[in-house]
């Protein structure tokens, strides 16, 4: 059962753009699928400290985008973009500061469906 009060509080704090559904499990940050995807995309799976020698601290290709949490205080376009976007189905995940912390998604997917998306994303990275 979804925690409706928690979702409403999160949506009040961050706006309804965060997504409608709670993310299935924060433990997915330690999943083989997420770690494999982040390794191939060369991004930090926890997004604590992005590298400083890159202009874009995430990853983007034709299949998906990963963006770290926007730490700025100003309201700009980057602040409203999802942290994870699977482009074929427009599946989006937003999190607070670190991957899957207080996270919401725009589609009601199971943990296994999310894991499958991460696998497809990893397969989309050449090399």
pLDDT at 32: 97
pLDDT at 10: 47
| Per-residue pLDDT tens over the stretch 61-113 | 999 999 988 777 767 676 788 999 999 999 999 998 889 999 999 999 999 99
pLDDT at 13: 47
pLDDT at 44: 87
pLDDT at 15: 46
pLDDT at 7: 45
Total domains in the chain come to 1
Q: Nearest 5 degrees, angle CA 51-CA 55-CA 61?
A: 100
- Which residue, 72, 77, 45, is CA-closest to 58? 45
pLDDT at 14: 47
Show the domain range for 93.
4-123
pLDDT at 2: 44
CB atoms within 10 A of CB 50: 16
pLDDT band at 12 (very low <50, low <70, confident <90, very high): very low
Q: What is the mean pLDDT of the chain?
A: 81
């Amino acid at each position: 059962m979804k925690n409706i009060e928690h979702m409403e509080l999160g949506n009040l704090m961050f706006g309804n753009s965060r997504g409608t559904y709670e993310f299935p499990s924060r433990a997915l940050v330690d999943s083989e699928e997420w770690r494999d995807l982040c390794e191939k995309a060369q991004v930090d799976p926890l997004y604590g400290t992005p590298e400083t020698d890159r202009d874009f601290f995430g990853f983007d290709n034709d299949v998906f985008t990963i963006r770290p949490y926007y730490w700025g205080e100003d309201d700009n376009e980057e602040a409203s973009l999802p942290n994870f976007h699977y482009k074929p189905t427009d599946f989006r995940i937003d999190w607070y500061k670190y991957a899957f912390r207080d996270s919401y998604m725009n589609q009601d997917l199971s943990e296994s469906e999310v894991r499958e998306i991460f696998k497809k994303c990893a397969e989309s990275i050449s090399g």
